[in-house]
Amino acid sequence: MNPRLRFLAGATLLAAAVSLSAADRNWDAYLGDAGATHYSTLKGIDAKNVAGLKKAWEYRSGGTAENNRSQIQCNPLVIDGILYGTSPTLNLFAVDAATGTEKWHFEPNDARGGLNRGLTMWQDGKERQLMYCAGRFLYAINPETGRPIPTFGVEGRIDLAEGLDRDVTGLYLVSNTPGAIYRDLIIMPIRVGEGPAPAAAGHIRAFDVRTGKRRWIFHTIPFPGEKGHDTWPKDSWEKVGGANNWPGLVIDQARGLAFMPTGSASYDFYGADRAGQNLYSNCLLALDAATGELKWHFQFVHHDLWDRDPPAPPVLCEVTRDGKKIPAVAQTLKSGHVWVFNRETGESLFPWREEPVPQSTVPGEVSWPTQPFPLKPAPFTRQRFTAAEATDRTPAAREYVLKRLAELDPSAPFAPPSLRGAIMMPGTDGGGEWGGPAVDPKGILYVNSSELPYTFTLVPTALFASGASQQYAQLCLSCHGPKMEGNPSANIPSLVNVGSRLKADDIVALLRTGKGVMPSFNFLPNPAKEALAQFLTVPPLEGGTPRPEPGSITTPPANSAYVITGYNRFLDPDGYPGIKPPWGTLNAIDLNTGEYLWRRPLGDPPKPYPGETRPPGTENYGGPVVTAGGVLFLAATTDEKFRAFSTATGELLWETQLPAAGFATPATYEVNGKQFVVIACGGGKQGNRSGDSYVAFALP
């Protein structure tokens, strides 16, 4: 070879190696990279030395709610030694990733708390923008100064409620999950209402990263003349909401393909107003990232009545078949299934079949006769809750659970909500949850899972008097319950005697703006908001007689003929899950073969389980991180611990107590030759205390 060519080739390889090394030191995209693999090539911390991890620093971001209902779900970015994250109140900050020393913080104008799961960095040469959402506003921030970039949108932000091709005035719309970058576009997820109230449509849009202008839109509820329009009633494109990409998306940069899962249509549990298959709800969509053109889709649930939307972004990976590498995209589901597709064609890489399922008996409902089931891999949660699985913790607990089981419809996959009461196994939080799985270069998928049954009972809104009490049934009952007692495990406060804590005007303000996980109900006319607030603040009469209706003020008619009585975990009389353990698991699945490599319980219940010899596990929220060092890092559990496991065997290698539960996905990175792993400790779910800390660990 010509010496000059040899020198140039060597220089090119060296430059590539330097570039690769820099990329590997960073955690520069949500969930690690454009494919959301949760994977890092770092191996300074490995299976042999991970037991020596110590706390390196702790950053207090501020904003913890005194009522323990604030959270941090942020998977931070770490780029060139700077960590970017968000607080419980959605303030944005930058800290030194080696020491935790704050560099700057930014307070958005409209943040009132809520959720944020991560951030997006766009770079073109020396031009960089840090992009994140607070509520419904997408901000472009200068990562050096923490100030908005004024050329983006209006003074550095755009309103995601605009440009949806439908009027969404007063309707709930936010973005909890960061967008994904393709060239000079940011493609944005949104979260919309899922209850029986009117809801915004979840159309998917791409925006110019420099100006904030909309560049394309894909109608997830198709307009007249668009493919899929005939799977809905003719007026659905104007009225029905949902079918939104709320969990986030991944982009195959080389192929220019964006893969995004879509949610269920609203209302989640009763769909008489949306008879049909309902494309493109509950789908994995493959869109041309540059134009929004649909390349292929697969629908996981037809005419969803279970809130069974895919809960996390898919992951990009390669699988081997007959000695050949196939570019694949894998999607985990709340039901505990994993689907694996050829990225280019949409062909399932494992066999599946469409099977008959139980049909709805609720008046007006027309459920879909069949649903798709993958035959491999086997589901990573149990699919039924029967007498054989009823708790045997104590004879009294088992007797209670068996009696309750006999009062409900028989447990089966896709058994629809009913007036008698139906069992969903696993419940609406999964199975798989929003933290999502990790996947390594060998095609091994690691997914944590909750394994609890829920019950769902529909009640007619006509049972409630017209006016404000019917509005309570329509808007509030699904979360706060028929007795207004709330659900502490789901962060939903009691409204019993709420008048002693809040004035009617305060409640009107909350109905107008929403707060935290509570959506806005600003679509209600002011008299309706005032009537509902007065209804809530008037104490019940003695003996439990219902509270009186407020005067003769009328409110809008009910939007749904039926609503659920709440998201109810099936618990025994002592508050433990009514099903035998495990209640939380961590699983390793070989996507090349569809076989499990190992499976283990995850988590220790905060309350002791007397006499239990099987590790029970706990519900868990937040995903894992996998490294080339053979270590899997995961917090997620209600016991407020952070753990490291062997990727080869699932063996527990290290654990530590956190200042609050880490219901978030960690990040790992390297600064000055030292590898760190960091986790946001926000707590605030399942009755856990709230926190505001980011805690980083490293070897001494």
State the pLDDT at residue 557: 53
Distance CA(181)–CA(119), nearest Å, equals 11
Contact predicate 90/176, CB 8 Å: no
> Going along 61-210, which residue ranges are E strands?
77-79, 82-86, 92-96, 102-106, 120-124, 127-134, 137-141, 157-159, 173-174, 180-182, 185-188, 191-192, 204-208
Distance CA(407)–CA(305), nearest Å, equals 21
What's the number of CA atoms in the CB half-sphere (13 Å) around residue 240?
Answer: 34
State the pLDDT at residue 61: 97
Walk across the sheet containing 422-424 and list its strands: 422-424, 454-456, 568-569
Beta carbons within 10 angstroms of residue 373's beta carbon: 16
State the pLDDT at residue 15: 35
Q: Which long-range contacts (CB under 8 A, 24 or more apart) does 599-607 make?
A: 599/380, 599/650, 600/645, 600/650, 602/448, 602/634, 602/636, 602/637, 603/636, 603/637, 603/638, 603/639, 603/641, 604/637, 604/639, 604/641, 605/576, 605/638, 605/639, 606/638, 606/639, 607/575, 607/576
Strand-pairing partners, residue 681, are: 693
Distance CA(336)–CA(264), nearest Å, equals 17
Distance CA(215)–CA(186), nearest Å, equals 10
Residue 221, CA distances (Å) to 166, 180, 282, 310 in order: 11, 22, 11, 17
Give the chain's domains with CATH numbers: 458-565 (1.10.760.10)
State the pLDDT at residue 649: 98
State the pLDDT at residue 439: 98
Instruction: Name residues whose C-beta falls within 8 Å of residue 567's C-beta, 6 or more positions apart in sequence.
Output: 427, 428, 454, 456, 478, 479, 487, 490
Q: Under DSSP, is residue 543 helix (H, G, I), strand (E, B) or coil?
A: helix
Query: 334: exposed, middle or buried (C-beta count within 10 Å: 0-12, 13-18, 19+)?
Result: buried
Residue 390, CA distances (Å) to 417, 452, 664 in order: 21, 11, 31
Longest dimension (CA), the chain: 97
Q: What is the pLDDT of residues 377-431, one digit of tens each?
A: 999 999 999 999 999 999 999 999 999 999 999 999 999 999 999 999 999 999 9
Sign of the C-alpha dihedral computed for residues 159, 165, 167 and 168 taken in this order: negative
State the pLDDT at residue 501: 82
Instruction: Name residues whose C-beta falls within 8 Å of residue 149's C-beta, 6 or more positions apart in sequence.
Output: 129, 140, 141, 142, 156
Q: At what angle do helices 468-475 and 526-537 cross, to 10 degrees?
A: 90
Contact predicate 446/624, CB 8 Å: yes
Q: What tokens were used for 227? A: 């493919």
Q: What tokens were used for 287? A: 């869109």
Strand-pairing partners, residue 27, are: 78
Return the H-helix or E-strand segment holding 551. none
Query: Within the chain, which residues score under 70 in pLDDT?
Result: 1-23, 110-113, 464-467, 470, 488-491, 516-517, 523, 539-558, 608
Report DSSP state, residue 217. E
What's the number of CA atoms in the CB half-sphere (13 Å) around residue 598?
Answer: 12
Distance CA(281)–CA(286), nearest Å, equals 13
State the pLDDT at residue 686: 84
State the pLDDT at residue 466: 60
State the pLDDT at residue 544: 46
Q: From 650, 651, 653, select the one nearest 642 (Cα to Cα).
A: 653
